[in-house]
Amino acid sequence: MIMANKSSVWELNHRVLEEREKLVTRFIGLAKVGNTKNLKYLYALKIKPVDKMSRVELVAQPPDVTENPYFETIKQRTKTKPKETEVQTDQYFYAVSQKRGAGDGGGRRKMNWKLKKYEKQDNLSSTDDSTAAPSRVQEACWFCLGNPQVAKHLLVTIATHAYLALPRGPLVKDHVLILTVGHHQSWLTCPEVVQADIEAYKKSLRSMYKAEGKVMVAFERNFKTHHYQLQVVPVPFAVAGEVKKAFIEMSESWPNSPCKLEPLPKSSSIKDFCKPGIPYFYVELPTGEKLFNKVEKDRLSVSDVNFGRAVLASKTILNCPERINWRECTEDEATETELTANLREKFTAFDFA
């Protein structure tokens, strides 16, 4: 859509992490022809027919994309009175009690956070190519390995579909990130070959930590991020039994917790309770147990991206509260390069790649 008398260019999109990716709408601002200020009034368009484009090309998100400014207006106009029953929408699958009463926090609805499986017919169809899309690089993504702006000095090792990197401001010296080489938004959108590399890295890291008398804790924060990243942190074997309790208690009591974490049944996985496009928080414990829950819509804005770090930095686990926020404990590039080299040398004996 081309608009006259405007000088800005912006692009509108679906709600990120709340809706499935959609084709963007592009607005181009041009001045009137022959304007006295000599402002731009011509724009060259390179057009490719939609039927000649793959779904990956159709839903590609430009780096300067912004949300539709009319979402809230549309929401207000279409808002209906909720029924007092169990809610299961296309985007969120919670057992929600909407009855109001005294002692419910000033009239706010009470939430039953118990995990609820979504019906199979609500899942993406097997013919949908959103989960099987080929690896791609988004130029504005910090974590796409093909992006020239990636901090190469933090790379530890690279496999075919995933890689290890040192995070900025690590909690401990062997704290690492497992990331995908191509652009995949979460575990649920990673093809099986990518998931296989991620699992192989986790197995190798467990072995490395075990050799030093430590155990592995891993968590995925699938909100306020556009690229899959698994935080992997070693903790002393002596506190392994405290990790589950710490995550559950802080998820209930921390003001900026994204959700109340619940144990995943042993025979289930994330895909049984969630589908691509829905924000969630996921933890793998040293005991092999897993914690998980989806992030409710009205908690996205207040959810702290440092929640997982805060739990592990707590007094009962690593006792390093000064390192909760990675921005407050970053090192200079020379130090980061040295830390990465040391970790790379140590990991060599366990690397599967």
β-sheet bridge partners, residue 9 = 28
- Measured CA to CA in angstroms, residue 102 lies from 99, 109, 113, 207, 237 at distances of 10, 11, 20, 52, 45
Q: Please report which confidence band the pLDDT of residue 338 belongs to, taking 50, 70 and 90 as the band edges.
A: very high
Task: Determine which of 80-89, 147-156, 189-198 has the lowest per-residue pLDDT on average.
Answer: 80-89
314 domain residue, yes or no: yes
Residues in the chain: 353
Here the tokens at position 171 are 């909690």
Same-domain check for residues 215 and 337? yes
Same-domain check for residues 196 and 313? yes
Structural domain including 21 reads 9-78
Same-domain check for residues 161 and 252? yes
Same-domain check for residues 201 and 296? yes
DSSP state string for 260-277? --EEPPTT--GGGT--TT
Is residue 95 within 8 A of residue 112, CB to CB? The reply is yes
- Residues 288-316 have a mean pLDDT of 95
Same-domain check for residues 53 and 160? no
Is residue 50 within 8 A of residue 64, CB to CB? The reply is no
Same-domain check for residues 198 and 312? yes
**3-state SS assignment for residue 237:** helix
Burial of 89 (0-12, 13-18, 19+ CB in 10 A): exposed
Here the tokens at position 87 are 């809610």
Domain final residue, candidates 37, 60, 78? 78
Tell me which of 336 and 89 has the higher pLDDT.
336
Domain final residue, candidates 30, 54, 78? 78
Q: Please report which confidence band the pLDDT of residue 39 belongs to, taking 50, 70 and 90 as the band edges.
A: confident
Residue 218 host element (H or E): strand 214-222
Count structural domains, the chain.
Answer: 2
Instruction: Please choose, from the candidates 262, 260, 264, 279, the residue with its C-alpha nearest in 3D space to the C-alpha of residue 92.
Output: 279
Same-domain check for residues 175 and 269? yes
84 domain residue, yes or no: no
Same-domain check for residues 184 and 271? yes
Same-domain check for residues 27 and 172? no
Same-domain check for residues 170 and 56? no
- The CATH code of the domain that includes 282 is 3.30.428.10
95 domain residue, yes or no: no
pLDDT tens digit sequence for 117-160 = 544 433 333 333 333 444 455 666 778 887 777 888 999 999 99
200 domain residue, yes or no: yes
Beta-strand pair 2-4/25-30: parallel
Instruction: Tally Cβ neighbours within 10 Å of residue 254.
Output: 14
pLDDT tens digit sequence for 206-226 = 999 999 999 999 999 999 998
Q: Please report which confidence band the pLDDT of residue 94 belongs to, taking 50, 70 and 90 as the band edges.
A: very low
**3-state SS assignment for residue 176:** strand
Residue 155 host element (H or E): strand 155-158
What 3 state SS string does 189-215 have?
HCCHHHHHHHHHHHHHHHHHHHCCCEE
85 domain residue, yes or no: no
Same-domain check for residues 224 and 329? yes
136 domain residue, yes or no: no
